[in-house]
Structure 1
Amino acid sequence: MPGPERSLRPLELPRGALDPDSVPLYERAALWLWDDLRVSGARIGDRLPSERILSDRYDVSRVTLRSALALLAEHGAVQAAPSRGWFIAGDVTSPTSAARVEGFADHAQKHRIPTSTKMLLSRVRPCTVREAQRLRIAPGEDLFEMRRLRYANGLVVVLEHNRLPLALCPVLADTDFTHASLYATLLTADPPQIPRRAEYAVEARPPNREERRALELEGTSVPVLMARQFTYSQHGYPLELTDQAYRGDRYQFRATIT
């Protein structure tokens, strides 16, 4: 992937210059990697070292490193080439121009909350007529579907149900989302799928039988906060349908209204 012979600009991320310790580890890893590439004289089109080498170099897990690479990809700095690895794609864009929807893992990582996941269902199936209408695809097209229980600090917080058109990111079917981040996987797809905008609705209601069992609510009067999210990509087309049932005593919804 040859490119112009010019040096790379600094990467600036929110909060980094103010208090480095408040920045999530994957953001710091992105900064370390980009600074090292600049200092080493790397050029646009150069290939990055392997993920194993980079994770060892910065003493981070593969999951954290992939989130760092996804962040750099989101800013236009690197891109993945199937079966070839990662390459420097260009100079970084403004962080404000690359705002995106965050997932459960993104939010927890920002706030340094340890998380874990229990996979209940992961499969590819034909989409229904209703799903096809929402996602603007043909009925019967392949849909990737998964159900997961998400834990924070060892406590179950949310039962999550995701559905995405498989054609947008075929690697979804082969990814272990017990450990991987859905949005990080979308960001590193070829081409990248950036969750840019979402319609989000929340309602409080009593849990149904599945939610009561999964969220460990038997014998309690705790309600669930049911969140329905319809996410669009950077190109404006439908990307994801998500239903999330949160334990009402372990989740707080906040919004700024202007």
Structure 2
Amino acid sequence: MIEAGKWRVGDRIPSERVLALEFDVSRMTLRQAVQTLVDEGILERHVGSGTYVSRQRVQEKMSSGVTSFTELTEAQGKVPSSKTVTYKVATPSLSELEKLHLKEGAKVLRMERIRYADGRPICFEVATVPYDLVANYGREEITASLYRTLEANDLQIGKAQQTISAMLASERIAEYLELKRGAAILRLRQVTFLTDGRPFEYVRTQYAANRFEFYLEK
């Protein structure tokens, strides 16, 4: 409905009860679908008011080198680790098709991970990559450090497009990151490209705001 223009920027969408009936799904399924769109920045919740199609935020163009979580953590003298929550080959969503420039019928590998530094949870990450790019790699090669695996196979990491915003932790994210529900979260959405211009990764990451900060030199 958003893609078709029935719901426009700034519009409040119907209640969960109404949408669950309209799409003939359970309230739980509907709530998870809405939360996914909130996490991707397509919808936004207004406390006490409802859920709206997101307005475009003010953006400042920033430049920085692309660094993996593993490299970033090690550079600060900490030990990186990950816990894989889900790992599956799936049909891409509309946003994944668009961000990764995929054709209809393509498959993606989608994985959810909790990333740690010295055993402390720092962020929850949903990473999507074209399946044909990683089909020949083992699960451990991909989940441990995708960037290092690609570079070891002569695929060079290029630029990234990033969007950073603020939000509050949902019950699920608060549990994963050992936070109180409603704690401050920094949300990063990133599309990363190879040096030949191909987008190979679409990541939606939620950082515990009291454990992580972004620093860029311009």
Provide the TM-score with structure 2 as the length reference: 0.65
Q: State the secondary structure of the residue aligned to 1:203.
A: strand
- Is the 1:229–1:241 Cα contact (8 Å) retained in structure 2? yes
Establish whether residue 171 from structure 1 lines up as the match of residue 133 from structure 2: no
What's 2:107 paired with? 142
Q: State the secondary structure of the residue aligned to 2:147.
A: helix
- Is the 2:82–2:144 Cα contact (8 Å) retained in structure 1? no
Alignment-mate amino acid for residue 202 of structure 2:
L
Q: Residues 192-231 of structure 1: matches in 2 within 5 Å?
A: 192-218=154-180, 222-231=183-192
Gap change, CA 1:164 and 1:140, over 3 Å in 2? same
| Superposed displacement of residue 195, structure 1 | 1.9
| Superposed displacement of residue 135, structure 1 | 1.1
| Superposed displacement of residue 158, structure 1 | 0.5
Q: State the secondary structure of the residue aligned to 2:102.
A: coil
What's 1:106 paired with? 71
Q: State the secondary structure of the residue aligned to 1:197.
A: strand
What's 2:4 paired with? none
Give distance in 1, aligned partners of 2:143 and 2:97: 28
Give distance in 1, aligned partners of 2:174 and 2:76: 27
- Is the 2:165–2:186 Cα contact (8 Å) retained in structure 1? yes
* Aligned residues with identical type, % of pairs: 25
What's 1:56 paired with? none
Establish whether residue 157 from structure 1 lines up as the match of residue 157 from structure 2: no
Larger mean CA deviation between 134-143 and 238-247 belongs to 134-143
Give distance in 2, aligned partners of 1:111 and 1:249: 16
What's 1:241 paired with? 202
Decide which structure has the larger Cα Rg and report it.
1
Q: State the secondary structure of the residue aligned to 2:136.
A: helix
Alignment-mate amino acid for residue 186 of structure 2:
L
Unmatched 5+ stretches in structure 2:
1-63
Larger mean CA deviation between 229-238 and 123-132 belongs to 123-132
Gap change, CA 1:208 and 1:177, over 3 Å in 2? farther
What's 1:14 paired with? none
| 1:160-185 CA-partner distances (Å, limit 9, x unpaired) | 1100111123234x322686211011
Gap change, CA 1:146 and 1:232, over 3 Å in 2? same
Give distance in 1, aligned partners of 2:114 and 2:142: 9
Give distance in 2, aligned partners of 1:153 and 1:128: 34
- Is the 1:126–1:139 Cα contact (8 Å) retained in structure 2? no
Establish whether residue 188 from structure 1 lines up as the match of residue 152 from structure 2: yes
- Is the 1:116–1:179 Cα contact (8 Å) retained in structure 2? no
| Superposed displacement of residue 227, structure 1 | 0.6
What's 1:70 paired with? none
Give distance in 1, aligned partners of 2:162 and 2:144: 23
Q: State the secondary structure of the residue aligned to 1:171.
A: coil
Q: State the secondary structure of the residue aligned to 2:77.
A: coil
| 1:69-116 CA-partner distances (Å, limit 9, x unpaired) | xxxxxxxxxxxxxxxxxxxxxxxxxxxxxx962110011122221122
Give distance in 1, aligned partners of 2:210 and 2:115: 15
CA-atom RMSD in angstroms: 2.0
Establish whether residue 124 from structure 1 lines up as the match of residue 89 from structure 2: yes
Structure number with the higher strand fraction is: 2
Aligned pair count? 155
Q: Which has the higher contact order (CA 8 A, sep 6+)?
A: 2
